Amino acid sequence: MSQTPRVGLYLGPETIVRNPGYLEALREQIGLNWVILSYTGELPPDVLAHSPYDGAPPSPERVRSLIARHLDGQPSTTEFKSAMLSVGPHFGAAHNEPQLRQAIDLIHAAGLDVWLLAGMYTASDFDVLMYCPSREENNRWYEAAYTHMATAYGVEGVDVTHARFPMTSYPRGLFLCMCDSCAQAAAALGYDMAAMQADIRHAYTRLKQLDPRQVTSLAQHDMGPFDLLQYLGVRTGVFDWFTFRTQLIARNVQRFHTAVHRAAGPDFIFGVDTYPASLATLAGHNLSRWAEFSDFASPLLSHVDIFPMKTMTVWAQFLRSLLPQISEADALQIVYRVTGYATLDLPHSIADFALGEPDCEYRNIPLRDFVAHDMAKAKVMLPPGLPAYPIIQGGGAPWDWPRPIVEQLMDDALRLGYEGTIFQGTRVLLDFDLQK
Ligand SMILES: [Zn+2]
């Protein structure tokens, strides 16, 4: 491609205000074009009036009524700490409007574009605090907040993250949300919640009844989706469930996309990032539909540890909890096959994932191949012509990747037809004494 690659970076307003010359150095040395700026503004009364909370902080009862439900009727979490620090779902109570506006001015003065960054349904992956995607109170709130962000600051775009179900490393999150509002939404989209629930229960029972010797044998052969279809005997409601969740997210984000464009004009940029392609369906993302509701695609590939790596270890442990006779190595191999990572040279033990260690993403994991694998998959699935930029580590958010790997991945992105790259952190890209 002959065009200059686009280079974006996630930053917070405080970092920009406290580090004169940082933006200019990034622009000169890595070709930075735009900043995705954390939203820290003060929402005005007309937006706050749309908050589904009963106060700030909200009562625990109110939060409980707004969050997602499991198959057994339990809420997604009982840990409401982050909710107590917010004025509405995924919008913090702490704000600094003057600093936000100063940061926007500084970015524009450096000749760069600004996209404001907000969050959506899964407000906390670690606490599994997920707001129900079918509750009108929640969706009205997001619509008002994104519209305000798009119209009040003179920015070029709004980028929303966490427009999805919880991280796939939380197996129970795969079966959120089954509340009454979601049952109604399912019916409106042509699905039968009760039938899907029955088939999910059936699949769970069926898994526990599998013959460990057969499962071990399957791990050692090249099984494909049709082998699994025969062997597992999973009913269609299980597939309907995951398709329903992608349709629900698509429908809702389309609503926000329409509202933002109605208010901010057709040239404004509004969109949401994508979960890694291999696992996207299980987080509620159908990449092939992205152009229906997002003006860009940004595959979130920077969290190799907490997204795919953790998922594979947790799923292998889950499989062994049902079928203890299966070895850890075979359980991992099955998970690699099911998730589509089996062509990569991945660890034979959970200990070798070294999760939590600073070098875990490249000590025993072929990091470049791993990230390029999901980059390539996403590009195949995303609609042609949709501007797309994979998100990778620039260093320090939280880990540092070796610089040669970062450079290889930047090249991989362009080779695969992406318009550029978005970074989290800049520690390996730039020698700058950053004041935090
Ligand atoms: Zn729900």
Residue extents of the structural domains in the chain: 6-176+245-321+358-425
CATH class given for the domain over 6-176+245-321+358-425 = alpha beta
Expressed in angstroms and rounded, the spacing between residue 78 Cα and the centre of ligand 1 is 16
What gap in Å lies between CA 403 and CA 30, rounded to an integer?
13
Expressed in angstroms and rounded, the spacing between residue 207 Cα and the centre of ligand 1 is 26
**What is the mean pLDDT of the segment spanning 17-24?**
98
What gap in Å lies between CA 251 and CA 225, rounded to an integer?
28
What gap in Å lies between CA 316 and CA 326, rounded to an integer?
10
Expressed in angstroms and rounded, the spacing between residue 132 Cα and the centre of ligand 1 is 4
Say whether pTM exceeds 0.75: yes
Spatial CA neighbour of 63 closest among 92, 41, 86 = 86
* Lowest-confidence segment of 41-55, 208-222, 320-334, 421-435 by average pLDDT: 208-222
Residue pair 122/169 in contact by the 8 Å Cβ criterion: no
CA dihedral 138, 66, 185, 236 (to 10 degrees): 130
pLDDT number for residue 232:
85
Other Cβ atoms closer than 10 A to 335: 22
- 2 compared with 422, residue with greater pLDDT: 422
DSSP state of 91: E
Residue carrying structure tokens 């997210």? 249
Expressed in angstroms and rounded, the spacing between residue 335 Cα and the centre of ligand 1 is 28
Expressed in angstroms and rounded, the spacing between residue 171 Cα and the centre of ligand 1 is 17
**What is the mean pLDDT of the segment spanning 168-174?**
94
Q: How does the average pLDDT of the chain come out, rounded?
A: 96
pLDDT number for residue 228:
79
* Lowest-confidence segment of 207-221, 301-315, 334-348, 384-398 by average pLDDT: 207-221
Expressed in angstroms and rounded, the spacing between residue 231 Cα and the centre of ligand 1 is 32
3-state secondary structure of 112: coil
**What is the mean pLDDT of the segment spanning 125-153?**
97
Expressed in angstroms and rounded, the spacing between residue 176 Cα and the centre of ligand 1 is 7
pLDDT number for residue 222:
78
pLDDT number for residue 321:
95
H helix intervals, 88-211: 97-109, 136-151, 180-188, 193-208
pLDDT number for residue 165:
98
Amino acid, single-letter form, for residue 11 = L
Expressed in angstroms and rounded, the spacing between residue 191 Cα and the centre of ligand 1 is 14
pLDDT number for residue 1:
45
Expressed in angstroms and rounded, the spacing between residue 15 Cα and the centre of ligand 1 is 37
Expressed in angstroms and rounded, the spacing between residue 53 Cα and the centre of ligand 1 is 16
pLDDT at 2 over 60: no
